[in-house]
Chains A and B, each alone.
Chain A
Amino acid sequence: MEEVNKEKTSRTEAELMSICEALIFVSDEPVPPKVLGDVLGEPKQKIEKALDDLRLSYEARDGGLRLREIGGGWQIATRTELHEEVREFLKTRPSAKLSLASLETLAVIAYRQPVTVPEILEIRGVQSASSIKTLLDKRLIVSKGRKDTVGRPMMYGTSKDFLIQFGLKDLSELPSIEDFEDLIQ
């Protein structure tokens, strides 16, 4: 940390790219640019520029890895196209998917958050208690406090894990709910 401060102004763009790459590599979860900036004592713009260039260099190389923004941070991950070989090697299978009921509940929570159980019921037309439990267990949703209304019901919203598991940079990356309207006939 001491030498970090000493070198504060002397890092070149290329050095910064290397350091960011190394830090992202050793982290087991997406690294927010702010964390990189704080650790390295570099201004936000410099970090963001370095990350962007780093991403472009990954793309240009066209290798087995890609650098991407997900869940509010940066992450090095394998390319989607290589999933079969990676799975074969890791001997893993795609994990169990959510049921339709849970997915629907998750969609309502994602688009209407913070949302209460009665509000979910209104849209889905069905009790969603078991779905909500599943989503909580899977840490896809978190409680967002209580609503200041009769009965003070618990409000729910999506978690960082939700962004990561659904490959989203942030919530604004979700397509607008009104876009789905055109599809209905």
Chain B
Amino acid sequence: MPQTVPNIFMDVDSEQLVFDFENVQPHIERESRDQIKLTLGEFAGPLDLLLYLIRQEKANIFDIPIAKITDEYLRYIRLLKSMDITLATDFLVMAATLIEIKSKMLLPRDPVFEGDEEAEDPRQELVDQLLEHEKFKRASEMLYERSTIEQATFSRGLIESDDNNLEINATVFDILKAFQQIMERRKEEIQMEIAREEMSLAEMLKNIRSRIFTSGKITLLEIFEELKTKNEFVLAFIAVLEIVRTESVRVIQEQVFGEITLTRT
């Protein structure tokens, strides 16, 4: 089994593919001991692959050489390791089914039942499924043909009427409403800006400093009362400490737990 697979064209799940039933049959292009080139075309699923392998072997669908086909199938899905995982699981389920059928066929018939009546062929269910699948494959080819023919027919395009012409499908009230909505949105935007406005430490310093120096003194309560956000509280706190450290400002607390006043000296 080759470890590297040089060329696998995987189109299984690409939905926009143009598929030509006549020319793009999935097939194995070239094979040598260490190289296999696959054109997957589109094996739409494990049943598809199985049908292909059966045809390849020129086997009768009602008498599938199960051992041979199982080997082929397993060999093939080893190449599909890199495939889409959900798809790969479906292929693996089929592999398990094949192996199960193969093992059933290897077992000798139960002598008790022998001669009683014809035991059911373990392949029967698979054959039924293949036949059912084949029917729908034909049906999808029919649909493909129909849509091709239909694409060659054109009906008239949309006529402009009040309903589908957006340009005239608006009254003064619609415009007013739209305008109102715009204004509403603007208002919201502005509010958001205010909420998000952040003061820098420099601004806070300047602000508090100027208030102390114009009025001579100010209580801490007065400073903090005006603040809204946590961020501003922190800034104000740092600013006060900074002012006390650098400027000629004194912090006075006249009684324990009393009001703290900042005074210019």
Task: Kindly state the separation between the CA atoms of A96 and B153 in the bound complex, as whole angstroms.
Answer: 16
Which residues of chain A in 124-158 are interfacial with respect to chain B, using CB atoms and an 8 Å cutoff?
Answer: 124-127, 129-131, 134
Tell whether, in the assembled complex, residue A101 and residue B155 are in contact, meaning their CB atoms are under 8 Å apart: no
Looking at the assembled complex, report how far the CB atom of B182 sits from the nearest CB atom of chain A, in whole angstroms. 32
Of B17, B90, B154, most A-chain CB atoms within 10 Å? B154
Tell whether, in the assembled complex, residue A126 and residue B150 are in contact, meaning their CB atoms are under 8 Å apart: no
Give chain B residues whose Cβ lies under 8 Å from the Cβ of A60.
Answer: none
Given A99-B16, A101-B13, A166-B150; 19 other pairs, CB 8 A cutoff: A25-B156, A77-B155, A78-B153, A78-B155, A90-B154, A97-B17, A98-B15, A99-B17, A104-B136, A107-B137, A108-B136, A123-B136, A126-B47, A127-B86, A130-B13, A130-B15, A167-B149, A167-B153, A178-B135
* B71 contacts the other chain (CB 8 A): no
How large, as a class, is the contact surface on chain A? 35 or more
Tell whether, in the assembled complex, residue A76 and residue B156 are in contact, meaning their CB atoms are under 8 Å apart: yes
**Which residue numbers of B lie inside 8 Å of A, CB to CB?**
11-19, 42, 44-47, 61, 86-87, 89-90, 94, 129, 131-144, 146-159
Tell whether, in the assembled complex, residue A127 and residue B90 are in contact, meaning their CB atoms are under 8 Å apart: yes
A101, closest chain B residue (CB): B44
Tell whether, in the assembled complex, residue B47 and residue A125 are in contact, meaning their CB atoms are under 8 Å apart: yes
Tell whether, in the assembled complex, residue B15 and residue A134 are in contact, meaning their CB atoms are under 8 Å apart: yes
27 contacts between A and B (CB under 8 A): A26-B159, A28-B158, A76-B156, A77-B155, A78-B153, A98-B19, A98-B147, A100-B19, A100-B42, A100-B44, A101-B13, A101-B15, A106-B143, A107-B142, A111-B139, A124-B44, A125-B94, A125-B133, A127-B86, A129-B86, A130-B13, A166-B147, A167-B149, A175-B142, A177-B139, A180-B135, A184-B138
Give chain A residues whose Cβ lies under 8 Å from the Cβ of B134.
Answer: 180, 184
A125, closest chain B residue (CB): B47
Q: Contacting A101 at CB < 8 Å: which of B45, B61, B131?
A: B45
Of B142, B149, B157, most A-chain CB atoms within 10 Å? B142
A164, closest chain B residue (CB): B150
A122, closest chain B residue (CB): B129
Looking at the assembled complex, report how far the CB atom of B76 sits from the nearest CB atom of chain A, in whole angstroms. 15
Tell whether, in the assembled complex, residue B157 and residue A28 are in contact, meaning their CB atoms are under 8 Å apart: yes
B135, closest chain A residue (CB): A180
Tell whether, in the assembled complex, residue B154 and residue A126 are in contact, meaning their CB atoms are under 8 Å apart: no
| Known A-B contacts A97-B144, A131-B15; A165 and B47 likewise in contact (beta carbons under 8 Å) | no
Looking at the assembled complex, report how far the CB atom of A107 sits from the nearest CB atom of chain B, in whole angstroms. 4
Q: Contacting A123 at CB < 8 Å: which of B19, B61, B133?
A: B133
Q: Contacting B15 at CB < 8 Å: which of A99, A104, A185?
A: A99
Looking at the assembled complex, report how far the CB atom of A2 sits from the nearest CB atom of chain B, in whole angstroms. 20
Q: Contacting B153 at CB < 8 Å: which of A77, A100, A102?
A: A77
Looking at the assembled complex, report how far the CB atom of B89 sits from the nearest CB atom of chain A, in whole angstroms. 8
* A9 contacts the other chain (CB 8 A): no
| Known A-B contacts A28-B156, A124-B47, A127-B86; A100 and B136 likewise in contact (beta carbons under 8 Å) | no
Task: Kindly state the separation between the CA atoms of A46 and B3 in the bound complex, as whole angstroms.
Answer: 73
Which residues of chain A in 67-88 are interfacial with respect to chain B, using CB atoms and an 8 Å cutoff?
Answer: 75-81, 83, 86
